[in-house]
Amino acid sequence: MNKIKLSLSTIAMLMGTTGFAIELTDYKIVEGDYNAAYVDGGLSIDSGNQDQVSYDGFVDANLKSIYTSAPYTLEYGLTAGADFSRGPDANQSAENAYDSTAYFEGNKYFKNDDTFFGYGRTDLGYRKQVTADSAEDPYLKVGVGAGYGRMYVATPLANAMRVAEDLKAYKLIKNDISDKALIAMARVIGVQSEYQSKYGFEEYKQYWYEAMEKALKDNDALVGDSLGAVGIVRLNAIIDATDGRGVLARLHGWKVQAGAGQILSQYDGSSSDTTADVGFQYGLPIGYTSQFLNTATASKVLGSNNSLDFTAKNLASYTYEMSDKIDWINSWALGYEAYNTGDDVMTNTFSTRLNYYLANRLSLNARLSFAKTSGTNGTSIETPEWDTSFFTGLRYRLQ
């Protein structure tokens, strides 16, 4: 009977419906954090009937961390990628290219709410083009400004729902668990790092699980007096599976901001300039299995020392959890650069990826992308036709 109930709850989650009345957008707890770090890689090697062994591969790394509280939020991220290849002909040498960007942003809310805030931001970049002998100069930009709105991290509530579905199937908590109990448990899940800092990585789960149990008990959600041994085992199984799988970030809300920036170092070594910057971010969980995110930025160069006059970027993504082991991730990146002399440049990249989760934080990926560049200026190379690429590889979740 437990297996039948567990299957039914799983089907409900896949269809985007559960027995809960609460929505992810109802979760507006500002205290918590979210951390995720991945390493992706793929490699193909060919030999025989050719002058030399040929290969084509890539390594990508992604890191994102968000800490939120009433007075301020801190966010930083890193994206790095490297491509390397060698052709089959004897006169073809190995080629490589890499590109990495990082940012740090802090927002200070003036009234400890979700209205006005001031921000400070730093952007870093370091890259090497495939045709270059060495890396370019590093890119460094700092900026300050003000904004309005807040993005809420509802991932802890998504995790709490997963736990509750499992515990209900084992008749350890009541079927009519209240929204208050779910939010109380989500609050505990959302501060995992605090328990790790206080009790250490080896011992913290004991106290963390006790706090989850207390949250359920205090809100009259338990069937008995405690979760018992079975409940702790199930709690550990779901949390471990959730942590290793890397539950997709559930974000909702919006914010806009505007300010001024100073480019301290350019890729081409040219003189720095002051910029006027604007940004917009929007997030919406769709049901319990999908997430939409959109980030848009624009920057106007105020000085005349640089040939680049204006840049705009928009990144939209839609993620759907097809099953407990398969995620479908889609993204569209649009970029535009306007120059004082020469062509303006527009880049379009569409990608779709399937992640199949294996075990021990490891997943098998298949990624298909289409890219096109219009205009030649700066370091861009125009592509009259769409470039298509397909990669399969492995991803490992670091945290």
Q: What angle do CA 286, 290, 293 make, to 5 degrees?
A: 80
DSSP annotation of 110: T
Got the DSSP string for 165-222? HHHHHTTSB-TT--HHHHHHHHHHHTTHHHHHHHH-TTTHHHHHHHHHHHHHHHTT-B
Supply the pTM of this predicted model. Answer: 0.84
Q: Which residue has the tokens 């089907």?
A: 11
3-state SS class at 47? coil
DSSP annotation of 162: H
**Sign of the four-CA dihedral 54, 98, 249, 387:** negative
Q: Which residue has the tokens 């009519």?
A: 176
On whether the CB atoms of residues 264 and 140 are closer than 8 A, the answer is: yes
Whole-angstrom distance between the N-terminal and C-terminal Cα of the chain?
Answer: 35
Distance CA 216, CA 45 (A): 54
* Best CA proximity match to 106, nearest among 78, 147, 76: 76
| pLDDT, one tens digit for every residue, the chain (399 residues) | 444 344 444 444 444 455 678 899 999 988 888 888 888 887 888 877 777 888 888 888 989 998 899 999 999 999 998 888 888 888 878 888 888 999 999 999 999 999 999 999 999 999 887 777 777 789 899 999 999 999 999 988 988 988 898 899 899 999 889 999 999 999 998 888 889 889 998 889 899 999 999 999 999 999 888 888 898 888 887 877 655 455 678 899 999 999 999 988 887 777 678 999 999 999 999 988 899 999 999 999 987 667 788 999 999 999 998 877 888 999 999 999 998 888 888 999 999 999 888 876 788 888 899 999 888 776 667 777 888 888 788 887 777
DSSP annotation of 133: S
3-state helix, strand, coil in the chain (%, to 5): 20, 50, 30
Got the DSSP string for 353-378? EEEEE-STTEEEEEEEEEEEEES--T
